[in-house]
Amino acid sequence: MELALTIGQVAKAANVGVETVRYYHRCGLLPVPERVHGGIRQYSRESLQRLIFIRRAQALGFTLDEIRALLQLNDGSTCVTARALAERKLQAVEARLRELQALRTDLHRLIGQCHANDGTGSCPLIATLCASC
């Protein structure tokens, strides 16, 4: 038997809001099902799987344009292209991690300077932020 879900049911099953499903329709990421029985759209198992795919790809940091490309590649013969896209995403994530680690180091240093200051004189954190003011 074919799965037939309403928009509310498919949204709940994928842990998204109804407006998110509609947004994916407008973006062309999720096909709009035909209206049946009194004008109600019924979503198939494939629609639910596609919606879950979109959410999982977003959780991995892929943009909607990148997800669109991945969906177009989902024929099983283009793993090289999909892998290249994932490798670029990984490089961007690693670069962001390096930036965050440098930010963490800077904040630890500034907090340490604030602790050492003991409230005497100007705040090292504020002084550093105002250095170019």
List of domains in the chain: 7-129 (1.10.1660.10)
Please state the pTM of the whole predicted model: 0.72
Q: What is the mean pLDDT of residues 25-34?
A: 92
Higher pLDDT, 12 or 80: 12
Quick check: 37 pLDDT over 80?
Answer: no
Quick check: 35 pLDDT over 70?
Answer: yes
Structure tokens at 12: 């709940």
CA angle (36 as vertex; 17, 24 as ends), nearest 5: 30
pLDDT digits (tens, 9 = 90+) for 60-92: 999 999 999 888 887 666 788 888 999 999 999
What is the chain's alpha carbon radius of gyration, rounded to the nearest angstrom?
A: 24
Alpha-carbon gap, residue 20 to 12, rounded angstroms: 11
Cβ–Cβ under 8 Å, residues 122 and 133: no
Structure tokens at 14: 């994928």
Quick check: 32 pLDDT over 80?
Answer: yes
Quick check: 39 pLDDT over 50?
Answer: yes
State which H helix or E strand residue 40 sits in.
Answer: strand 40-41
Quick check: 50 pLDDT over 80?
Answer: yes
